[in-house]
Amino acid sequence: MLEEFRKFVMRGNVIDLAVGVVVDASFTAIVNSLVKDVLMPPIGLILGGIDFSDFFITLKGDHGISSLAAAQKAGLVTLNYGLFINTIINFLIIAFVLFLIIRAINRLQTRKDVPAAVPEEVQLLREIRDSLKVRNP
């Protein structure tokens, strides 16, 4: 059983998946910072200084608290739709970047699969060569 497990783990797909998970964790941290620190401040400024992370609805408890951090510290039950908006923006950015990466990979693969066009002169020379081989075996 241990030998079978070792073979499973050492397969290329499993190692590729492990590398992908590690890269994804790093990439997610970068995207989270991009959204939180770069994109959301200008969007909030355009919308009048609004911080999406503080958008919440108090379901149970004191409804007079104005920040999510204070509501969570007080132990209130909240519906954090602002954090959900941030998560959707994160997802859209990640999906777009992955689309660009896959698009670039697909373009590289199609270029390798398609043989280069042979110039007309070379094609004519090949035909002459082949006809001479047929005449003089």
pLDDT at residue number 111: 62
Residue 59 main-chain phi, psi, to 5 deg: -85, -35
Q: Angle 2-10/12-33 helices, nearest 10 degrees? A: 50
**Residues of the chain predicted below pLDDT 70:** 12, 110-115, 137
pLDDT digits (tens, 9 = 90+) for 15-54: 778 888 888 888 888 877 887 788 778 877 887 777 777 8
